[in-house]
Amino acid sequence: MTKVIKIFLFASLIAVFSVSAFSQTKPRKPKPKTVAKKNVKKTEPTAPEPVKKNERPADETASDDTAQQTEPKKNNRDGKNTERPSAKKAAFEPTYFYTFSQPSFTVSEIKIEHDDKGKGKISFMKGGYDEPVSDPLQLTAVTLEKINAALNALDFLNATESYQYDKDYSHLGNITFKLKRDSRERETKYNYTTNRDAKALMDEYRRISNQYIWMFDINLSRENQPLEAPGLVDVFDSYLRRNEISDPVQMIPFLKELSNDERMPLIARNHLAKLVERIEKAGKK
């Protein structure tokens, strides 16, 4: 009997131990579930946040890019509109054409072209230069009056006369003159003439050439070879005495500038100041 009781008690202890062990293992099962739920909750709010942050700067940068693209287009268009009129204003259509040619001269070729208002350019080829020199030219009303007076006296566009003298004096240089007015034009060539008006036309363009070529030479001298300035001023003085400058009064501002330029030798500056006084006195007469 006692054995039966011991067996019963032993069996009951085993049963109690198994129940307690089973009860201890059950609460461990929900722990991974709660952890999984917590992880889900943490990942859910983080997903939409980068989307919102990325959308806002994308809109801002897009608006900035469109603003930068539209602004330079407007500026470029405005720039084009401003350049075109200036180019049109700078352009001119020459109607007077003069050419002098003598290969053996120091200045072997001279070309002058200008419009009815005297605006144009002069190009000339000098010894020692590989290419012709070209400078802008502006004739005064005094010079234009002398040119047009000679052309009107010749009735140039309607005339058919050849102004060339019987003998050839090409060693003095050949000139070509052409005039355009409306749809008409005429060109003539000669190197020496006894026609007074044709000679006046030739002489006036020679004076224009002397004036502008001398200005080029004296500018070159004061920048690079100031010791040559006194000799060049003597040449200009000789031009004045022989009436070989087209409009001396036009030269006064330039001559005053030279007389105050300390790069020029003192003897040249003093001579220039005296020439200015002489021109001013002659202009008052």
Q: Structural domain boundaries of the chain?
A: 29-89, 96-284
Instruction: Express each pLDDT in 142-174 by its tens digit.
Output: 999 999 999 999 999 999 999 999 999 999 999
Proportion of the chain above pLDDT 70, given as a percent: 68
Which segments of 30-173 are extended strands (E)? 96-101, 107-114, 119-126, 133-138
Q: How far apart are CA 128 and CA 135, in angstroms?
A: 18
**pLDDT the model gives residue 40:** 43
**pLDDT the model gives residue 3:** 56
| Contact criterion met (CB below 8 Å) for 179 and 151 | yes
Single pTM value for the model: 0.68
**pLDDT the model gives residue 170:** 94
Q: How far apart are CA 123 and CA 93, in angstroms?
A: 16
Instruction: Express each pLDDT in 201-238 by its tens digit.
Output: 999 999 999 999 999 999 999 999 999 999 999 999 99
Residue with tokens 């943490």: 42
Instruction: Express each pLDDT in 5-59 by its tens digit.
Output: 566 565 666 655 554 444 444 444 444 444 444 444 444 444 444 444 444 444 4
**pLDDT the model gives residue 128:** 82
Q: What is the CA radius of gyration of the chain?
A: 50
Give every CB contact of residue 102 below 8 A, 6+ residues apart in sequence: 108, 109, 170, 171, 172, 173, 174
Q: How far apart are CA 227 and CA 258, in angstroms?
A: 14
As a whole number, mean pLDDT of residues 104-109 equals 95
What single-letter DSSP state applies at residue 117? T
